[in-house]
Structure 1
Amino acid sequence: MTSRHRSHIDPNTPAPRRRSVVKAAAAGAVLAAPLAASLPARAAESAPAFLHGVASGDPLPDGVLLWTRVTPAADAVPGSGLGPDTPVEWVVATDKALTNIVAKGSVTATAASDHTVKADVRGLAPATDYFFRFSTGGTDSPTGRTRTAPAADAAVAGLRFGVVSCANWEAGHFAAYRHLAARGDLDAWLHLGDYIYEYGTGQYGTRDTVVRPHAPAHEIVSLADYRTRHGRYKTDPDLQALHAKAPVVAIWDDHEFANDTWSGGAENHTEGAEGAWAARQSAAKQAYFEWMPVRPAIAGTTYRRLRFGKLVDLSLLDLRSFRSQQVKFGNGEVDDPERTLTGRAQLDWLKAGLKSSDTTWRLVGNSVMIAPFAIGSLSAELLKPLAELLGLPKEGLAINTDQWDGYTDDRRELLAHLRSNAIRNTVFLTGDIHMAWANDVPVNAGTYPLSASAATEFVVTSVSSDNLDDLVKVPEGTVSAVAAPVIRAANRHVHWVDTDRHGYGVLDITAERAQMDYYVLSDRTKPDATSAWARSYRTRSGTQKVERTYSPV
């Protein structure tokens, strides 16, 4: 481990997924009020201004992608389509004071890109901290810090990544981001999907309390809507702080589009009444790539691969753009080889990359859980909210078909590929489910642990979105105490599950092991929520199995 990866616990540390059928207002709703609501009160006082912070992402050994949005005039709010073309300069330096400038350039912010700008900076040194800033019209943005990836052939002692998923603005504050930003030891952070939510105000799980309202107030459908919602999120101070502290590596899940997205639609989309799905999907993708420091990858998707020296390569999946429609479990369709989660091209790309990789660890950024999951015998009081959270049939059928469980042929093919080619040290990093899990990924769950494990999986809980205790409306920890033992008894490859708490993960990797430290928040509804270490699990090199370890790195 290098000195910058010293052991760390936040100094402030003390010792669900609701399936809504409520639909929002039509896409042609008046924009003025919700657009204005997406900006801080000071937005109209001066222009130009950098009101949405700065960010960086997708680090390479010789470069990184820089991002910001400029508000060139008071009426040029997100989604408005208003405002003049505005030249924006950027600089990159080795020091925070920006005196030793190593790269600089300019880009033009236009209404066509919602006045967001990106600079794909190259020619930098590997494994190096840099500082950057944007400027326009005599106004400077905040200064951000970023870090390049190690050289492809570098022997890397250790890497540390923050890991987050599922941040519902209305359900709470983003203290998880604040605590990750305060660490100061992250090489990058991974966002595994549901960076935004598409629902209208009060339509998605908030434990019957809207902590802070969305903008626009209605469900987002049009390009202007998606831009406005992204703009609202980017005003959060904790999100801004984390984006300014370390580069992000992000993939989308369904709520960047609509709940339970598949290639031809979504559960939370009504064709016709909410326009054509193709138009909505296109708008959501355009806004995402405008507002996120993410390089569009193959065919405008988020599947791509990043390398961090000889220690890690990271395959990032898009599990929404190509998938077949979800089916109900019980009629055999989940096993249909004609149905796919990944799409043929992406699965072949993933298999080839895992096989050819020469790094010690193969990480897979994976938006929905790959480990099999079944419910044993849960009480009726718990089964209904658990089904609601996971999208299960409320009659008690124990499969979430939005996960890999609904596309078993893709999973069977991928795990068989890992086994037949003796591909070791594959770790899936997963979000979506609003619970924390530590799993082996068995080739045959029915005979496990007598059969083999092909990989391991660390699932992080939600930043703020409802989990099981929020749905049942009981004190935090109450449900997990009952449900977790039952879930583990029915799923012998599951080492741990926490159904109730919100938080984040920190993944620490050396040649010997990959360890996930799980942190939980004191209260998602409080902007000053504290953070505490909860548990740690690791997989040692060559084992393909998870084990508990009793202290964070």
Structure 2
Amino acid sequence: MTQQTSTPNPDLSPSAPRRRTVVATAAGAAGAALLPLAGASAARAADAPAFLHGVASGDPLPDGVLLWTRVTPEPGAGPGSGRGGPVAVEWEVAADREFTRLVQRGTARAEAASDHTVKADVRGLDPATAYWFRFTADGVRSPAGRTRTAPDGAAPDGNLRFGVVSCSNYEAGYFAAYRHLAAHPDLQAVLHLGDYIYEYGHSEYPTGDDVVRDVRPGHEIVSLADYRIRHGHYKTDPDLKAMHAAHPLIAIWDDHEFANDAWRGGAENHDPETEGAWKDRVAAAKQAYFEWQPVRTSTEGTTYRRLRFGDLADLHLLDLRSFRDAQAPVGDGGAIDDPDRTITGRRQLDWLKSGLAGSRARWKLVGNSVMISQVAFGSLPARFLGPLAELLGVPREGLAINTDQWDGYTDDRRELLTHLRDNRVTDTVFLTGDIHMNWANDVPVRAADYPWKAPVATEFVITSVTSDNLDDLLNVAPDTVSGLAEAAVRAANRHVRWVDMDSHGYGVLDLTAERAQMDYYVLSDKTDKNATAAHRRSYRTASGSQRVERARRPVR
């Protein structure tokens, strides 16, 4: 049995020929010796181990996938409790739902040091293939999950489909979007673009009567135990468990996995006087994240990495919190345009530029937690904007609405987008969450030059699963006040082809060699646990065009 060791390599696709290897680990406990696996028995006592948080898989490769579960070793040994001894866990991977055709099996150990979470990095599987998996501990069997490996050449059906979600605030509503994604039978994976959990305490966001259900723990999470409890509470949600059991997850973090508006040295929602050192809070949040998510751990403690899906797509996943400088005040052009300020960090930006330029895939997807498209009021023609910015000290690209986005770090954005233009990198699609709205954007190097100069990429932004949007915050009916704001944004930003500030839901991205299409689905009511989902709109970009256009119907 080979134990996993952490690696800083952000490219997760194996470059060597596929080997029939099996790697298993208890999260955060690499190097620990495995316990002998107890024999299975049909009847167990009430204090036997339990699988209360479901099963999950993630980070699919052509020859493997990461499996995850959490074992509750005894009553009272909940997440963050530190209770319970080590438990031997067996995992199985089969080619059929009945597990009559086992293809891989192995053992791992759940222990308190990793909050009794288990990860098994299984290799030696066939590409572009669906598998079933499950775990057993002391004779108790987990629910079964379904996963899928990535293609290593052409996609079998000529297309790839990904669910896309972000911003799931437990107290703001029910996770019906996850339930509807679980029902899609043909997804390669679900891409979660950040804010999988929120750090706030009960009734902090949302507040008062807007709270739909209570989160645990009831206070703002700061310590390692707090973050573990919050992750564990989320994974008791039946809709979230259904999604994890149905599809592999590909996840990056944004700020609320730590604290609101996080940057490398602090956060808007962190007070070192009462909540301790920021570095300690970040370390706790990252440890719990890697324990509780089916994401491969890097020694750099980051989520930026690359996954390849045959000839059709490379997926570049970013970490836009660990390396960024503090957000600049709105209107502070000197800070916003400062070339010494960064959102990515030098190493990550170079890695991204190199990966995009060197990609041989048709589509270069970028999992991007905050919007890269400029959204500004006061946009002026290019010949006026530069001189006025110098005279008045405002940002060169107009007055940014949200400096937590790439709008607050214009030099990094200019460098990246100029790199796409100068190196003739085509078919780059940014996939974004964060702002609780749906958008479809062309991405020019400079918005003031659009449409006279061609865009260099496109961007699809997905709304929140539950987190409040504009109408929620104003307590008004959908499609009322927001319609005025949508019109104002589009009038000032010609590259914004569509924006929807009302909806909650998810997206389904469908890729072929000819086009990338995002189908936007919205929920009937996020406060209704039985909410329905309906198609709202679809936008696509044709290969080679670097522009979005309306599609009249969803792909399926």
TM-score, normalisation: structure 1: 0.87
Contact 1:165 1:431 in 2 (8 A): yes
CA distance in 2 between partners of 1:192 and 1:76 (Å): 31
Alignment of 1:96-135 (within 5 A): 96-135=97-136
Alignment of 1:156-195 (within 5 A): 157-195=158-196
Please say if 1:146 is aligned against 2:152.
Answer: no
Following superposition, the deviation at residue 272 of structure 1 comes to 2.7
- Any idea what SS the aligned residue of 2:349 has? helix
CA distance in 1 between partners of 2:408 and 2:87 (Å): 47
- Any idea what SS the aligned residue of 2:183 has? helix
Contact 1:399 1:406 in 2 (8 A): no
CA distance in 1 between partners of 2:267 and 2:400 (Å): 22
Contact 1:439 1:496 in 2 (8 A): yes
- Any idea what SS the aligned residue of 1:261 has? coil
- Any idea what SS the aligned residue of 2:456 has? strand
Q: Could you tell me which residue of structure 2 aligns to residue 408 of structure 1?
A: 410
Q: Could you tell me which residue of structure 2 aligns to residue 84 of structure 1?
A: 85
- Any idea what SS the aligned residue of 2:440 has? strand
Residue 401 of structure 1 aligns to which amino acid in structure 2?
T
* 1:515 counterpart (488, 495, 517): 517
| More divergent stretch after superposition (439-448 vs 248-257) | 439-448
Q: Could you tell me which residue of structure 2 aligns to residue 324 of structure 1?
A: 325
Closer/same/farther in 2, CA of residues 502 and 153 from structure 1, 3 Å limit: closer
Q: Could you tell me which residue of structure 2 aligns to residue 67 of structure 1?
A: 68
Following superposition, the deviation at residue 47 of structure 1 comes to 3.0
Q: Deviations over 1:117-144 (max 9, x none)?
A: 0000000000000000000111110000
CA distance in 1 between partners of 2:299 and 2:488 (Å): 41
Q: Could you tell me which residue of structure 2 aligns to residue 307 of structure 1?
A: 308
Unaligned 5+ segments in structure 2 are 1-44, 380-397
Q: Could you tell me which residue of structure 1 aligns to residue 464 of structure 2?
A: 462
Contact 1:152 1:307 in 2 (8 A): no
Please say if 1:473 is aligned against 2:475.
Answer: yes
Following superposition, the deviation at residue 536 of structure 1 comes to 0.1
CA distance in 2 between partners of 1:140 and 1:262 (Å): 41
Closer/same/farther in 2, CA of residues 180 and 376 from structure 1, 3 Å limit: farther
Q: Could you tell me which residue of structure 2 aligns to residue 259 of structure 1?
A: 260
CA distance in 1 between partners of 2:425 and 2:307 (Å): 18
* 1:490 counterpart (486, 489, 492): 492
Aligned length: 492
- Any idea what SS the aligned residue of 1:195 has? coil
CA distance in 2 between partners of 1:522 and 1:96 (Å): 33
Q: Deviations over 1:282-308 (max 9, x none)?
A: 000000000000002361200000000
CA distance in 2 between partners of 1:261 and 1:105 (Å): 39
Residue 330 of structure 1 aligns to which amino acid in structure 2?
G
Following superposition, the deviation at residue 408 of structure 1 comes to 0.3
Following superposition, the deviation at residue 155 of structure 1 comes to 7.2
Q: Could you tell me which residue of structure 2 aligns to residue 229 of structure 1?
A: 230
CA distance in 1 between partners of 2:207 and 2:310 (Å): 42
Following superposition, the deviation at residue 350 of structure 1 comes to 0.1
Q: Could you tell me which residue of structure 1 aligns to residue 341 of structure 2?
A: 339
Q: Could you tell me which residue of structure 1 aligns to residue 376 of structure 2?
A: 374
- Any idea what SS the aligned residue of 2:529 has? coil
Contact 1:435 1:498 in 2 (8 A): yes
| Relative contact order, higher structure (CA 8 A, sep 6+) | 1
Q: Could you tell me which residue of structure 1 aligns to residue 221 of structure 2?
A: 220
Q: Could you tell me which residue of structure 1 aligns to residue 277 of structure 2?
A: 276
When the two chains are superposed, the root-mean-square deviation of aligned CA atoms in Å is 1.5
Q: Could you tell me which residue of structure 2 aligns to residue 531 of structure 1?
A: 533
- Any idea what SS the aligned residue of 1:273 has? helix
Residue 406 of structure 1 aligns to which amino acid in structure 2?
G
Q: Could you tell me which residue of structure 2 aligns to residue 503 of structure 1?
A: 505
Q: Could you tell me which residue of structure 2 aligns to residue 31 of structure 1?
A: none
Residue 152 of structure 2 aligns to which amino acid in structure 1?
A
Q: Deviations over 1:323-355 (max 9, x none)?
A: 000011222210000000000000000000000
Residue 192 of structure 1 aligns to which amino acid in structure 2?
L
Residue 462 of structure 1 aligns to which amino acid in structure 2?
S
Q: Could you tell me which residue of structure 2 aligns to residue 243 of structure 1?
A: 244
Contact 1:85 1:111 in 2 (8 A): yes
Q: Deviations over 1:213-263 (max 9, x none)?
A: 111000000000000000000000000000000101000000000000000
CA distance in 1 between partners of 2:263 and 2:48 (Å): 41
CA distance in 2 between partners of 1:154 and 1:505 (Å): 20
- Any idea what SS the aligned residue of 1:412 has? helix
Contact 1:376 1:489 in 2 (8 A): no
Q: Deviations over 1:42-72 (max 9, x none)?
A: xx96531000000000000000000000101
Residue 425 of structure 1 aligns to which amino acid in structure 2?
D
Following superposition, the deviation at residue 372 of structure 1 comes to 0.1
Alignment of 1:38-53 (within 5 A): 46-53=47-54
CA distance in 2 between partners of 1:276 and 1:343 (Å): 22
- Any idea what SS the aligned residue of 1:262 has? coil
Residue 198 of structure 2 aligns to which amino acid in structure 1?
Y
Following superposition, the deviation at residue 447 of structure 1 comes to 2.0
Contact 2:154 2:312 in 1 (8 A): no
TM-score, normalisation: structure 2: 0.87
Unaligned 5+ segments in structure 1 are 1-43, 378-395
* Runs of 4+ more than 4 Å apart: 152-156
Following superposition, the deviation at residue 482 of structure 1 comes to 1.6
- Any idea what SS the aligned residue of 1:65 has? strand
Q: Could you tell me which residue of structure 2 aligns to residue 196 of structure 1?
A: 197
- Any idea what SS the aligned residue of 1:288 has? helix
Following superposition, the deviation at residue 486 of structure 1 comes to 1.2
Identity %: 70
CA distance in 1 between partners of 2:298 and 2:489 (Å): 37
Q: Deviations over 1:151-200 (max 9, x none)?
A: 15767610000000000000000000000101111010100000000000
CA distance in 2 between partners of 1:144 and 1:351 (Å): 36
